[in-house]
Amino acid sequence: MSWWWATITSGFTEPTHAWNLQMMRIFFGIGCFAKFVHGATGGGWQRFDEGQISRFLMKRRLGTAWTSRFVVLYKPLLIIRILASLSLAMGFMSLPSALLVAAGLAFEMVFIPRFLTFFMLLLSLLLACAGNLGGFLSVDWDGVGSGNTWAQAMIVLLAVDLYINTAWLKLRSPQFRSGRVISQWMTTAQEIRPRLAGWNFYYPGFVREALCHPDGSPKPLAGFAAKSTIVIEFLIPIGLLYSPTMPLAFATGIICHFFFMLMLPRHLVTYSICTVSTYFAFAAI
């Protein structure tokens, strides 16, 4: 019986190697650090300054009084969550840092609610439930115990759910299967990029030329890429759950997320790092 099933059926008491979640903590912290720095740059620092559309929309949605209080906290919280993610990556006060990172992600959900941000929020809360996330700038390679078992099992289930559901939603979409979603997204991004602050929608030009016609319609390669993405996203968690195929699934996942980043580097790099960090939770004992 594999470790993850034994863990669940035995009440989350099976011992596991401590380094699994410690390595995940490092990479997850790096991904959150990149996300939070991105959120404070490229116009993010000025998001709620007077006259900005985000401030106007929040006033209309939540009222002037609440918005005024939120604006006072906005910039200090941007700094705090950057420091918390860096502290988490280095292993300094890891559990409190994970809670602060979770608070920083919940804070972002107030004004930019996204499923991927919520996924990262759940991961940070699960890390905060782990018993041993390592020391400052160190990893306990030899430690074995049950302190991290529940958190590890929940992270595995969350990652499997993310991949399977993402693949299922894409499979149900004729627009995605045909490659039209990819081609139209890349064409639109190319058109609006000069109007946006920062490096929001940059991707290599040869990628667009390979996938899109000049009018935005998909080339055959776009449809092939879309269908391949569905298959790969479905197979990655299955491969990670089976010890003999874990290294192949690990490498495939990294390559897959690298190609995701080619389409939307500044936004998807953080999500990709955090998602790949969950692979360490699959490591067999």
Cβ atoms < 10 Å from Cβ of 264: 17
**One-letter amino acid identity for 138?**
S
Closest CA to 262 of 180, 185, 198: 185
| The pLDDT value given to residue 9 | 46
Residues 174-201: tens digit of each pLDDT: 999 999 998 888 888 778 777 766 666 6
Residues 259-281: tens digit of each pLDDT: 887 777 777 888 899 999 999 99
Return the axis-axis angle of helices 246-263 and 220-241, rounded to nearest 10°.
Answer: 140
Exposed/middle/buried for residue 222 (C-beta within 10 Å: 0-12, 13-18, 19+): buried
In contact, 268 and 261? CB cutoff 8 Å? yes
Cα–Cα distance, 4 to 14 (Å, whole number): 9
Closest CA to 281 of 15, 13, 5, 19: 19
Cα–Cα distance, 248 to 240 (Å, whole number): 8
What is the pLDDT of the chain when averaged over all its residues? 88
Closest CA to 236 of 249, 248, 226: 249
User: Strand, helix or coil at 16?
Assistant: strand
What tokens does 36 get?
A: 């939070």
Residue 238 has pLDDT above 80, yes or no: yes
| Boundaries of every domain in the chain | 1-17+148-285, 19-142
Cα–Cα distance, 92 to 34 (Å, whole number): 18
